[in-house]
Structure 1
Amino acid sequence: MRQSRRLLALVSALALVTSLAAGCGGSDDSGGGNGLEKKDMKVASLPLVDGAALYIAQKQGLFKAEGLNVKIVPVAQSIKALPALKNGEVDAIAGANYVSFLQANEQGAIKLSVLAEAATLTSNMMNVVVMPNSKIKTAKDLEGKKVAVNILNNIQGLTLDSILKANNVDPKKVNYVAVPFPQMAAALQKGQVDAIHTVEPFLSDTEKKLGARVVVDGGSEPVTGMPISGFVSTQEFTKKNPKTAAAFQRAIIKAQKIASQDRKRVEEVLPGYAKIDPQVASVITLPGYPTSLSTTRMQQIVDLMTSAGLLKQKPDLKSILFQPTS
């Protein structure tokens, strides 16, 4: 009788442990909670305002709530993380400029999958600036001059070319030079370039430290509101890990909503990952933070790239924009 009671107690204890484990979403090391294919993700990220949602999601526990453990890997240029993305060394890239990655998709370097939109252009968030004593006064004065951009043939050149054309300036006469964002201010100060096309938070930091003067508002018409960057992965990753990709997308979109509604949340994370003074973070111009993945909005950048000859044909956005299955 005593043995029966002990056996019953043991069975009850084991049942309780099993129930608790199931309730906590227990899984092995490869899988994640909530039925995810994998819980660990590596995300490459640039030190730009574009990727603020990644750090907000991390700080607010939004990834954790989805059963994800996200490790952030800093990079200076999104295109330099492309080989790592292709090889599976990172699972996604935050703040990746659309031009470079849509081109890589067309060229067969990767099969692109956009998990979420990161930023849209706003007035004065990405400007062409010069030293205070520069003779460059107008957009027309940029003809024949060296202008630094983060990467050649990327979103910066595409949008700036559109603005220059709208102001009767020949973009072909502007000499673009590739300089990573963190090195642009030094290149301008040393006279290695005549102007820099820089983005926040580097823009405000350069203006503060060098007294740099704005020559062209890089978010002005006809590119105001243009989608410029996103959270990207590969179709191989999203097909193999659809639930994980959907969980990441949900967390990022929640963070995008926070960023779009509460500037303070952006200011809180910027000094840490962008390495800027909190006072600079409080005055920078923020981009738009889209809270959905819009085919209509993405078509704008595709149309502009096609008309500029950066894409030979328009890609199938339905296959590129990740839509989770129910």
Structure 2
Amino acid sequence: MMKAKQRIIILLLAGLLVLTAASCSSQKAADPATETLKLGVLSLEDILPMVVANEKGYFAEEGLTVELIPFQSTVESQSAIQSGDIDGMMNDMVVAALLKESGTDLKVTSVTLEATDERRRFAIVVSPDSDIKTVADLKGRELGISFNSIIEYTTDEMLVAAGVSPEEVNKTAIPKIPVRLEMLINNNIEAANLPDPLITFAEFNGCKTIIDDRGRSIS
């Protein structure tokens, strides 16, 4: 039990990106027994350690009350942290930089999982009925993404790596990740950039991956 708890804590420290308003650290320390730490999360594999820690009571054992608040897009979590509705969030470095530039006081406390030569984090996936076979086939076609985020950044990098200019592709804003996934599976959009494990789910439902970020050092 103790070893399992230690593994979860290590994952929480090393495997997650949580953006916390820096102003919180300057305020008088709140009583953890009465205050709830509200963290905005996206439905990605990165949140698994937090979910397990919450369900197993590891946060409570440390005197913390944590509420995980799900969001469907980075846009929604951005708005929530700017309005003070949440204390921190799991998001990406592009969003963090944009928030910092706009004057939002925040800190990056830890970094998420990253792509390796064996593990993918993001991929451009095409719908089950699409005739798109290669990245070059995306020229002039619609590609669902979330603008001003790691999704757009990795999309552009993968396109360039395959010899396609981002300007040659019709990038379409579909910020809500579940909506983007559903539209792709139902052939309502021909291609989209998805994070894992949604890539795997899309493939299970007949979609095809034409390029991913493994070994590219972009995520």
Q: TM-score, normalised by structure 2?
A: 0.76
Shift of 1:69: 0.3
* 1:118 pairs with 2:112: yes
Partner of 2:92: 97
Determine if contact 2:142/2:189 at 8 Å carries over to the other structure: yes
Distance between the aligned counterparts of 1:107 and 1:120, measured in 2? 26
Distance between the aligned counterparts of 1:190 and 1:206, measured in 2? 10
Change (3 A) 1:223 1:160: farther
Shift of 1:189: 4.1
Distance between the aligned counterparts of 1:184 and 1:69, measured in 2? 33
Which structure's residues are more often helix, by fraction? 1
2:54 is matched with which residue: 55, 58, 73? 58
2:164 is matched with which residue: 144, 169, 172? 169
Change (3 A) 1:82 1:131: closer
Determine if contact 1:40/1:68 at 8 Å carries over to the other structure: yes
- Post-superposition Cα deviations, 1:118-150, rounded to whole Å, max 9, x if no partner, equal 22124433221113442211111112111112x
Shift of 1:92: 0.8
* 1:208 pairs with 2:204: yes
Shift of 1:169: 1.2
1:77 is matched with which residue: 64, 73, 76? 73
Determine if contact 1:45/1:78 at 8 Å carries over to the other structure: no
Shift of 1:220: 2.7
- What is the correspondence of 1:80-159 to structure 2 with a 5 Å cutoff? 80-94=76-90, 96-108=91-103, 110-122=104-116, 123-149=119-145, 151-159=146-154
Determine if contact 2:41/2:70 at 8 Å carries over to the other structure: yes
Distance between the aligned counterparts of 2:156 and 2:201, measured in 1? 24
Determine if contact 2:127/2:187 at 8 Å carries over to the other structure: no
* 1:40 pairs with 2:36: yes
The amino acid that maps onto 1:32 is P
- Post-superposition Cα deviations, 1:191-250, rounded to whole Å, max 9, x if no partner, equal 4322011122222222112x1111111x234325x3xxxxxxxxxxxxxxxxxxxxxxxx
Partner of 1:277: none
Q: Work out which of the two has the higher radius of gyration on C-alpha atoms and give 1 or 2.
A: 1
- What is the correspondence of 1:188-267 to structure 2 with a 5 Å cutoff? 188-209=184-205, 211-217=206-212, 219-223=213-217, 226=219
Determine if contact 1:163/1:221 at 8 Å carries over to the other structure: no
- Post-superposition Cα deviations, 1:248-300, rounded to whole Å, max 9, x if no partner, equal xxxxxxxxxxxxxxxxxxxxxxxxxxxxxxxxxxxxxxxxxxxxxxxxxxxxx
Q: Which runs of 4+ in 1 moved over 6 A?
A: none
Determine if contact 2:127/2:189 at 8 Å carries over to the other structure: no
Determine if contact 1:163/1:220 at 8 Å carries over to the other structure: no
Aligned to 1:119, the other structure's residue is in SS state coil
Change (3 A) 1:45 1:114: same
Structure 1: stretches of 5+ with no match in the other structure: 1-29, 227-326
Q: CA RMSD in A?
A: 2.0
Structure 2: stretches of 5+ with no match in the other structure: 1-29
Aligned to 1:55, the other structure's residue is in SS state helix
Shift of 1:159: 1.7
Shift of 1:70: 0.4
Q: TM-score, normalised by structure 1?
A: 0.53
Distance between the aligned counterparts of 1:163 and 1:116, measured in 2? 25
- Post-superposition Cα deviations, 1:12-31, rounded to whole Å, max 9, x if no partner, equal xxxxxxxxxxxxxxxxxx51
Distance between the aligned counterparts of 1:77 and 1:155, measured in 2? 12
Distance between the aligned counterparts of 1:87 and 1:156, measured in 2? 24
